[in-house]
Amino acid sequence: MADEIHKSGLVAPSSLRGLWAVRHGQSTANVAFAEAERTGSTELPVPGRDTDVPLSPLGREQARSLGDWLAGLDEGTGPDLVVCSPYARARETWQVMAAHPRVTPPEPLVDERLRDREMGVFELHPPGALRARAPEEAARRDLLGEWAYRPPGGEAMADVALRVRDFVTELDRAAPGRRVLLVAHDAIVITLRFVLAGLGAPSPDTLPPVPNASVSCWNGTGGRLKLVRWGDTAHLA
What average pLDDT score do residues 96-106 get?
94
172-224 tens-digit pLDDT:
999 999 999 999 999 999 999 999 999 999 988 788 899 999 999 999 989 99
SS3 content of the chain, % helix, strand, coil (to 5): 45, 15, 40
Q: What 3 state SS string does 31-56 have?
A: HHHHHHHHHCCCCCCCCCCHHHCCEC
Half-sphere exposure of residue 191: CA atoms within 13 angstroms, side-chain side = 28
From residue 236, alpha-carbon distances to 60, 68, 134, 231 in Å are: 12, 9, 38, 12
15-74 tens-digit pLDDT:
999 999 999 999 999 999 999 999 999 999 999 999 999 999 999 999 999 999 999 999
Neighbours of 213 (CB within 10 A): 25
**Is a pLDDT exceeding 70 seen at residue 8?**
no
What is the CATH topology of the domain spanning 2-236?
Rossmann fold (3.40.50)
Task: Name the pLDDT band for 9 (thresholds 50, 70, 90).
Answer: confident
Nearest CA among 120, 110, 116, 86 for reference residue 187: 116
**Is a pLDDT exceeding 90 seen at residue 6?**
no
